[in-house]
Structure 1
């Protein structure tokens, strides 16, 4: 995951909790995948007097689709741990592709996130 782009209806930044919360219609793009959800939270930590992303949480149901349309993924929630470069999908995880369907309670991807961009709906 080289670059992450986020589009949402709302963004609330809470400096006291070191948290950015994206709500409403939230769409993420990374690598060759698009993810739709209704809630995404980014948690920051301070390292050497500089804020950096600790982890990203998607506490609501998500649907992900590869850009080539060959793979569809759903899960109840997900977390991305920056230091471990680990994306953990949890709860009723379903992966559907040309080879069939996989159902599990947990699926782990190892990937790297280098940059985040954000845009807000025009209302």
Structure 2
């Protein structure tokens, strides 16, 4: 009997250790089209004509399709060849909201060319009554698949009690 308990305990620890290092989740409600218009509102906008850099600061809210992102500051990086927005770098406390999920982090890098969003620094994702936290979350916006990495912690509420 002790042997069976030991095997079960070891198996549980192996499964738990994998869950703490990384996990895959699906953000089915995130359907951001990298070709859709990007709307940004902020208290201030600074533009450097020499570098072509634009920095939105103060109560920044970014919208693209079903994706809403708010932050203290967002730097816009343009594609040299096309002049289109290539990446958005958000900092100062970032919040991502969709119809059914919300995520918070210290910073976020939205790569429109690759269709990815990387949130870093104390990431907290809530889906209904469940929550998951990690150091980083990388989202593929075309599929809604997300990968949580770095000391992942989950709380799953299955309904009922």
Cα distance change, pair 9–44 in 1 and its aligned pair in 2 (3 A): same
Mapping for residues 1-123 of structure 1, pairs under 5 Å: 1-2=32-33, 3=36, 4-47=38-81, 50-66=82-98, 68=99, 70-98=100-128, 100-111=130-141
Runs of 4+ residues deviating >3 angstroms: none
Provide TM-score, normalisation by structure 2. Answer: 0.60
C-alpha deviation, 1:80, in angstroms: 1.3
Corresponding residue for residue 12 of structure 2: none
Given that residues 71 and 91 in structure 2 are in contact (C-alpha distance below 8 angstroms), is that contact kept between their aligned partners in structure 1? no
Provide TM-score, normalisation by structure 1. Answer: 0.76
Cα distance change, pair 33–58 in 1 and its aligned pair in 2 (3 A): same
Distance 2:128 2:87 in 1: 32
CA-atom RMSD, angstroms? 1.8
Cα distance change, pair 63–71 in 1 and its aligned pair in 2 (3 A): same
Given that residues 18 and 45 in structure 1 are in contact (C-alpha distance below 8 angstroms), is that contact kept between their aligned partners in structure 2? no
Corresponding residue for residue 118 of structure 1: none
C-alpha deviation, 1:18, in angstroms: 2.2
C-alpha deviation, 1:94, in angstroms: 0.5
Q: Which structure's CA Rg is the greater one?
A: 2
